[in-house]
Structure formats: structure tokens, C-alpha cells
Structure 1
């Protein structure tokens, strides 16, 4: 990932002859792609949101970058030459344009989690530029040969990375390059400058991030939502025993054990993906709390079953303390888990449309509605649930005296539970499917 803002003092270095690029209100595919010039783009037919074309000119290469950009603010576009399909330790060249149409060249070495290392390469020339009507286009003359540890030899195969984002140019000619968010693509193949191909683009994907998110959705949107209301409202309904345990408690314990397993698996997977603690580089500051909240959720998820293993016996003075502590830890874990999923779908690596946030709002509203409805039913039925949340009610235990809901209330509660089960399952499946598809696949539908 990239930092929120990088500033460089590199200014435009035009060659002796500067040409004007033709005006265009949309990006049209370059003629001769795959024949006279190499092309890398996301074109559908002749229409593109970006295209990079190149050819060889003796010991130099000529690259032209063209992309749709924001009309009302300064912006940058760039191409990176990478040894893999991920950002990090890449040779980057690009241009920044302000709202007046001024264009500045920049060159850099991209890094993975920190600011790009900007450097000035006087051998790379900006020979043509155009910023007009929502389209930015820059043409570079670049030596094919490498230059130290900075400029790479493009006669060797490299994966092409394209990105664009907001930027600005100061009055002194300094260019500021800000984080590109989700506006980046990666070539499907590694290419040399002599490869005159017509290659499509794909988004950089993070499959382990999607697995992590899917596990957390299963844990907190589905399993916890069902397990918590069973323990809180269904003890008088499921009083029969299964394997010498109350049915409500067995269902609750299975749900929460699966919550722990899914959360732990997702926690380990994301640590593997980021090689340790994740340093979130986002323009929205509150999203940087995602890994911190995740660690807190994992601690709470681990703590609750450990607390249950050492719970005081029913009727002892410390039992009420355990009950409140267990309720508080479980409720906090559920609340923070859902909040963190909100944060997660807004992260760049999730690569999902923003309307997933609205789906999560709908889920949260439903969960609150169901719990309020069950509270009202409990109040109107005047049935106080005296069996403790995590009690294992034995034959001689206090659970034997538990009042049983009336037949009518039991029927209504079972209908509510069945509807709730299928609705939260539908929310979870919808979120997982959209997360798996991502922006680029959804855009094709």
C-alpha cells in the first residue's frame, strides 16, 4: 500500500521538441495495438478508462500514458515496473497535472508500506502532455538501459502496474502525489519493451484478505447473531436436554465455539498476509483502527470461553460477577466485531463497492429490531429468565425450576428465531459473495 501523501521537487523536464497530444473527451484505444505498438489497458472494445502504449526508438523507449481523471482537481497517473504483481520495490514514472493544465514529471521507487522514494532521472523526458476534459495523457522518452539501483532495464520482462490518484503542483513546481485508493491495475503477464502485445489489465487481488473478511462475516454477522439471542431469550423455549445438556445451551455453545474458530483462523490468516501487524495507509484516519480493534476482538473472543471454564458454581457469591462479566465481554466482542467489519469493507484492499456499508447498516438494524422485539415479548409475557447465560443446568441445578413460556409465546419465538436465522444467513452470504467478486467483477454485470 501507499502513503497518504508524498512530495517531490522534481519538475518537468521537456525534451527539445515538445508535441501536442490530440484533444479527446474520452480515452480511445490506440491504433496499432499489438502490431506497431505494445498496449496495456482495460479497454472494452475501443473505449478505455486507461491505456499505456509503447514502442522502441533506437536505445530509448517511448511510453504514452492516458487515463480518465477527475475533472475538478489535480491528479496524477503512473506506470510501475514490478518483479511481481504486488506493489513494493518498483520503478515508477508518471506525471501530475493541476487544474490549470500544468504537467510535472516524477520518477520514484515504490515501497510496500511507506512513502515512495522519489528520485530525479534527467534521462527520462516528458515529451508531450495533455490534461483536458477529464483526460490526462503524458508521453515519456526513457532509456531502455538501467541506471544504478533506480531505473530498471526494460529490455527485461516486468509486470506493469498502473495507478492514478489525487495530487497537486505547488507554485515552485513541486509535485505532491497522494494515495491512489483502489485506482490501480496489474498486467496479467510480464513484458519487455520489445513485446508489441495488446494486453488487458486486471486488478491487484488479495485473496487472503477476502478469506479473512469472509471468516469474520461468518463469525460475527451470522454465528454470533444467532448464538447470542439463543442464550439471551430462548432458555425457556428449549428446555429439553440433548446429550445431558439443555438444548439452548448446547446450541449457544456450538455457535460461540465456531465464532472462536472462525475469528482465530481469520486473525492468523491476516497476520500471514501482512507479515505481522498491519500498518493501514488510508486517507480516512479512523480506518487505521481496524487492526487495533481486530486484536481487541480476538482477545475478547479468547477470554470469554476461558472465563466460562472457571466460572463459579451457581448460587455462590461470585456467580453474579461472572454473569455480568461474561455478558459484557461477549456483547463487546460482538459489537466491536461488527464495527470492524464496517471498517474492513471500506479498506482499499477489500476492493468492494461502498454500498456494502448500507447492507451492513441493514443487518445491524435487523439485529437490533429482533432483540427489541424479543425484549418486548419477554416483558409482555412477564416471564423472568432466571437461568444464567453460561450455566450448565444439571438435573439438581437451579435450572430445574425455570419457568416455561406459554405455548403461544413459544410458537412466536420459534417463528422469530427461524426468520432471524435465514435473514442473517442471507446477509452473510450476500456480503461474502460481493466481497469475493470485488469491484472489477461487479462492474461487468
Structure 2
């Protein structure tokens, strides 16, 4: 038992040692410094710089627990957000340290051509005991990035895995930005702040409320619950219709507000020149879904009266547009998990998959129940016509089916609410 306790304590100590390091004494004293160190001087990354004639000497040190090829980089930005930034990246590929110039165009990054090494000298680097270090000299001006280090910039820091060929992949955590602009000719200390993704979280949460919760309830009401509550009214309309309309209004408002919020965040339409096809697809599908969300209620406003010759056309069109919007909306929730802002856990995909399985299973159960109830009602009607006094009345059959369907509806509402709540909580705390 004592041996086991010592072993666990050793593992804990190793983990603590490997998760932070002590802030260098040169930080803010003899070198300019940008970091995320806490009040006790424990850091997960530090960037230092010092003017050296027509150049700036940079050193980056960070905790990186990734195995294999990896990268860390600093970006020079006119604001505190990723987009249109010059980047210098340190890449450990196949045991060799590379330092390259690249550029963020929108939310994507690409190496500068034809020579990403221009203006970079004195490269030294290592990755030992989860500590990734890289130092290099970068000329102040004249680099192919069009960055002039005589000017002032916000500094961005990010890290992630790399390929064996040295190309960088998506960062593992959300990039951090400096709290203020940096003057690379001065010795100063600047703190890192997390980028604000509140609007993105609100966008994602609203879309989950719309397509995982509201629509998943709204679509089953006209399909399976029209015969329910035949003698009851809700605000002058049939109960099923008001519940359906209310669910769809929640979905409509959530989608529109979420759509506006993400436009406010990106301050434009998402860049479509990214190498990741999933990230290209997400905004395109989002626009399509939003258009469909406008089309369906517009059709409903001008719907033909029941019994008229055009009513079947409306019914099929309304169902088709709604179903397509629901499918694309849920698919886009899956794609949104992979967008990287905020950095959502991979297991969220499995929670969404669980919701899809439940929705399909519920609709199958309801379809089988409806077929069984219709057949049973037909059989009992024939028996009644034959004069069998033992058979139950049609009203009794309807009441029994109604009780079961009400129970199933309650279960469905609770389950989809649970899925929705779980996903929203994960998004909010990410």
C-alpha cells in the first residue's frame, strides 16, 4: 500500500512539473515579455523578445504534452482576433526544428511562397519533458509577410499538432491574445487573455435549442398527434397545431438570432478558401438552413384551405422544406463541433449521435404504433358491424391510444430536453 501511494504521488508530481514552468527572470526586466503566468510565477507559455539592431531576437517556451510532430506560433495582429495576421511558426517535425513565415487569411493559415524562410536566422529549438522551446532572429522589416516590427502589434499565441513534413494542423486550444499592443523596441511585460467566444457559444446554444429541441418536438405533432385533443382548443385553435406552431416559432427565432450573432462575431461571411472542407460547408449550410426557415412559415401564411385542390401540394411542400431544414440543421450542429471556436470536446459528437438515434427510434415507434392502432380500430369496427357484444367501442380504443401517445410524447420531450441541456452546458463551459 505504501509503495502504491508513493507511486501515485510521483505521478502527481510529474504531472504538475510537466504542466507549468517558472517564469524566466529576464521577463520584463531585460527582455520584452508576453505570457500567461499566474501570480505565483507559474506559466504554460512565455514569449520574450529583444531588439538586436535591424532584427528582433525571439524566444518561445511553452508546455506541450503532445507526442510526435507539433508546432507553436506567434501572430502579429492589428487587433486581438485571428484574421489577416503575420505568423512565425516553430515546428518540430521528425526531430528537426523549423521556423517558417505564414499568414492568417481569415480563419485559415498558409505558408508564404516562394520562400517561407526569408528573414529568419539563428534557429535553435528543443522539446524535452513536455517543454517546447524555440529561439530565432527575425528581421524587423522587409519580410514577405509585410510585417514591420518597428510598428506595434497585438501578439497571438497558438499551438497544435504538425505533420511529419512540417505543415501545421489545427490548434489544440483556442489561441490567446495579448491584453495590449506590444512595442518590440521596448522592454515591457504583457499578459495573455483568452479570446472572447461568448457570441459563438450563444450562436451554438441557440442552434441546439432550435434543431435538437424545438424542431424535434414540432415535427412529430402534425405527423402523429392530429387526432389528439379533438374537443379541446388552445387560444382558439387545435391543441396540436398551437403546440406545433409554438415549437416552430422557438426554432425560427433561435435560428435567426443565432445567425445574426455569428455574423457579428466574424464581422463578415466566413472565409471559403480554407483547406478544411467541413469548415467551408458549415457557413454554407447555415445560410441554406436560414433561408429554409424563412420559406416554411411564409408558405404556412399563404396555405390553401383544407379540402381545396392545392392543399396536398402545400402539405408536401411544407413537409419537404421542413424535413430538409431539420436534417441540414442537425448536420450543421455536427459540423459546428469541428469548427474549433470554442474548442469543444470530441465526445460531443457522440452525444449528438445519440440524439439522432433517439429521434429516429422514436419516429419508428410512433409509426409502428400508428399502423397497429389503425389496423386494430379497423378490425374492431368490422366486429361491431357483425354484432359482437364483447368488443370495445371505438371511443375506448381511441382513449387507450391517446393515453399511450401522451406518455410517449412526454418521454420524448424529456429525452430531447436532456440532450439539448447537456450539449448547451458543454458549449457554455468550453
Q: SS of 1:189's equivalent? A: coil
Give the alignment partner of residue 374 of structure 2, picking from 362, 366, 382: 382
The 1:245/1:134 distance shift into structure 2, 3 A limit, reads: same
Asked if 1:40 corresponds to 2:34, the answer is yes
Give the alignment partner of residue 75 of structure 2, picking from 80, 95, 98: 80
Counterpart in the other structure of 1:430: 422
* CA deviation vs aligned residue, 1:251-296 (integer Å, no higher than 9, x gap): 1112112222222222333334334432356654344222222222
Q: SS of 2:48's equivalent? A: strand
Give the alignment partner of residue 181 of structure 2, picking from 174, 184, 190: 190
Q: How far off is 1:228 after superposition?
A: 1.4
* CA deviation vs aligned residue, 1:139-165 (integer Å, no higher than 9, x gap): 12346x5558833335x6532111234
Asked if 1:207 corresponds to 2:198, the answer is yes
Q: SS of 1:84's equivalent? A: coil
Contact 1:110 1:117 in 2 (8 A): no
Counterpart in the other structure of 1:218: 209
Give the alignment partner of residue 104 of structure 1, picking from 74, 95, 98: 98
Q: Mapping of 1:272-421 within 5 angstroms?
A: 272-280=264-272, 284-382=276-374, 406-421=398-413
Provide structure 1 residue ranges, at least 5 long, that are not aligned to the other structure. 1-23, 386-401, 439-445
Q: Mapping of 1:157-168 within 5 angstroms?
A: 157-167=152-162
1:53 and 1:103 mapped to 2: Cα distance? Answer: 18
2:344 and 2:136 mapped to 1: Cα distance? Answer: 33
2:149 and 2:112 mapped to 1: Cα distance? Answer: 18
Provide structure 2 residue ranges, at least 5 long, that are not aligned to the other structure. 1-16, 378-393
Q: How far off is 1:183 after superposition?
A: 5.6
1:341 and 1:168 mapped to 2: Cα distance? Answer: 28
Higher helix proportion: 2
Q: How far off is 1:338 after superposition?
A: 0.7
Contact 1:27 1:66 in 2 (8 A): no
Q: How far off is 1:340 after superposition?
A: 0.9
2:23 and 2:87 mapped to 1: Cα distance? Answer: 22
* CA deviation vs aligned residue, 1:151-208 (integer Å, no higher than 9, x gap): 3335x653211123444687xxxx6445546463222333334344373x34433333
Counterpart in the other structure of 1:232: 223
1:251 and 1:230 mapped to 2: Cα distance? Answer: 8
Q: How far off is 1:434 after superposition?
A: 1.7
The 1:377/1:46 distance shift into structure 2, 3 A limit, reads: farther
Q: How far off is 1:215 after superposition?
A: 1.8
Asked if 1:140 corresponds to 2:136, the answer is yes
Q: How far off is 1:365 after superposition?
A: 1.9
Aligned-residue RMSD, C-alpha? 3.4
Size of the aligned set, in residue pairs, is 390
The 1:185/1:281 distance shift into structure 2, 3 A limit, reads: farther
Instruction: Choose 374-383 or 255-264, whichever is displaced more.
Output: 374-383
Q: SS of 1:232's equivalent? A: helix
